Chains A and B, each alone.
Chain A
Amino acid sequence: MALMGVVGMGVMGVGVAQNLAQAGHRVVVMDRSADTLEKGRGLLARNFRMSQMFGGPRLDVSAMMNAITLTADLGELATAEIVVENITENFELKRDVYRRLDEICAPDTLFVANTSAIPITKLASVTRRPAQMAGVHFMNPVPLKSVVELIPGYHTSPETLDRVRTLLKEMGKQPIQVKDACGFVSNRVLMLTVNEAAYLVYEGTATADQVDEVFRGCFGHPMGPLETADLIGVDTILYSIQTLYENFADSKYRPCPLLAQMTDAGLHGRKSGRGFYTYNRLTAEA
């Protein structure tokens, strides 16, 4: 049984770890925050328990939990075959983690970057193994979403891509391979939509609920852009639109000040209990 590494145990790290364990892997998950690790353990146990509610198999919760080790020490990822990185959407933070992973991990370990918008080639450039790195843009909630974007960086080798494709197959994912560009396909479009939706609320044109109702009712979308923002994380939306703004040096990506204010105020969406909507604190951390 191969050992898989996961860095970052936020919204995405929990889902990736869960999905890897269900695919039969041993997993070691690292986060720098002890609180997050503790909370993440609870979320994993709950998600395994509820698997059947979402059309998944009935799972042996304790066997699944035993397959996953939580740690605050990046050193425990040394023997991982593949490391999936899911830390905060911030280039400087990710750069520091990749530099350390490059030192710590075996020479043949592959790195998979799960990012909303940061170019994979740029992340790979900080390591000495750009051929062994690829981007996978997982969707949220990870175990429930079967399609992902697969993004080779400029130097990604065909062997790396093959191995990552195999891993995705084990995880039940169907990849859509796209070229490396900031925001890829999905977030080049989605983040602009969410940002404009936030402007509509900021300017008082409509309430969040009205904006979402237009998308659900008129367009038949299952969720509106601002409920989606709460699911993704309002902070992550802000960091992603900032990344697009900086990378393209194009004012059309100017971040809505409301997103910045909400991020500063701790209104991060479901994960913090409040964003564009308020969630029951006991039940919101989906």
Chain B
Amino acid sequence: MGDYTAETINDFIHGRFPDAAFTNDDDIFSLGFINSLFAMELVMYIEQKFSVTIPNDELKFDNFRTVNCMAELVHRQALPAVGQ
């Protein structure tokens, strides 16, 4: 499941930046091709695609630095609450 989430996010970024070379652990913001507008698109894409609402506290740059960070963020939201 982790792979699917990460691959989906990776595909989305590659769809917009076909020539960009990065791994799921690379800090994509340090590679220079991503700006703040794309960061906003990423948040919206992730929320729509995985049907999650990221809490305001989690809307921090650090959670979006790498594809794997984003995938973990998605998984944290998708975990069912204890006792449900």
**Cβ of A157 under 8 Å from chain B:** no
Q: Which of A61, A144, A223, A286 contacts B41 (CB 8 A)?
A: A286
B41 contacts A53, C-beta separation under 8 Å: no
A280 contacts B45, C-beta separation under 8 Å: yes
Given contacts A282-B48, A283-B44, A284-B41, contact A53 B56 (CB under 8 A): no
**Cβ of A54 under 8 Å from chain B:** yes
With CB as the reference atom, state the residue of chain A lying closest to B15. A280
**Cβ of A165 under 8 Å from chain B:** no
B41 contacts A280, C-beta separation under 8 Å: yes
In the bound complex, what is the Cα–Cα distance between A223 and B33 (angstroms)? 9
- How many chain B residues touch A (CB < 8 A): the figure is 16
Given contacts A280-B41, A286-B41, contact A49 B56 (CB under 8 A): yes
Given contacts A53-B39, A222-B35, A223-B35, contact A283 B59 (CB under 8 A): no
In the bound complex, residues from chain B placing their C-beta under 8 Å from that of A231 are 37
In the bound complex, what is the Cα–Cα distance between A46 and B43 (angstroms)? 10
In the bound complex, what is the Cα–Cα distance between A49 and B61 (angstroms)? 13
**Cβ of A179 under 8 Å from chain B:** no
- How many chain A residues touch B (CB < 8 A): the figure is 21
Q: Which of B45, B48, B60 contacts A53 (CB 8 A)?
A: B60
A53 contacts B44, C-beta separation under 8 Å: no
With CB as the reference atom, state the residue of chain B lying closest to A285. B44
Least Cβ distance of A61 to chain B in Å?
A: 7
In the bound complex, what is the Cα–Cα distance between A192 and B49 (angstroms)? 39
In the bound complex, what is the Cα–Cα distance between A279 and B37 (angstroms)? 12
In the bound complex, what is the Cα–Cα distance between A224 and B56 (angstroms)? 32
- A 132-173 contacts with B by CB, 8 A: 141, 144
Least Cβ distance of A137 to chain B in Å?
A: 20
With CB as the reference atom, state the residue of chain A lying closest to B40. A286
**Cβ of A58 under 8 Å from chain B:** yes
**Cβ of B36 under 8 Å from chain A:** yes
In the bound complex, residues from chain A placing their C-beta under 8 Å from that of B36 are 53-54, 141, 144
B35 contacts A53, C-beta separation under 8 Å: no
Given contacts A58-B56, A61-B56, contact A53 B43 (CB under 8 A): yes
Given contacts A282-B48, A283-B41, contact A52 B35 (CB under 8 A): no
Least Cβ distance of A195 to chain B in Å?
A: 23
In the bound complex, what is the Cα–Cα distance between A283 and B56 (angstroms)? 18
Q: Kindly list the 8 A-B residue pairs having the minimum CB-CB distance in the complex, ordered from nearest.
A: A283-B44, A283-B41, A286-B37, A282-B48, A283-B45, A54-B36, A286-B40, A53-B59
Can you name 13 A-B pairs with beta carbons within 8 Å?
A46-B44, A49-B59, A52-B59, A53-B40, A53-B43, A53-B64, A141-B37, A222-B35, A279-B41, A280-B45, A282-B48, A283-B40, A286-B37
List 16 additional contacts besides A54-B36, A55-B61; criterion CB under 8 Å. Answer: A49-B59, A50-B40, A52-B60, A53-B40, A53-B60, A54-B39, A58-B56, A141-B37, A279-B41, A280-B45, A282-B45, A283-B41, A283-B45, A283-B48, A286-B40, A286-B41
- Please give the residue numbers on chain B whose beta carbons come within 8 Å of chain A beta carbons, in ascending order: 35-37, 39-45, 48, 56, 59-61, 64
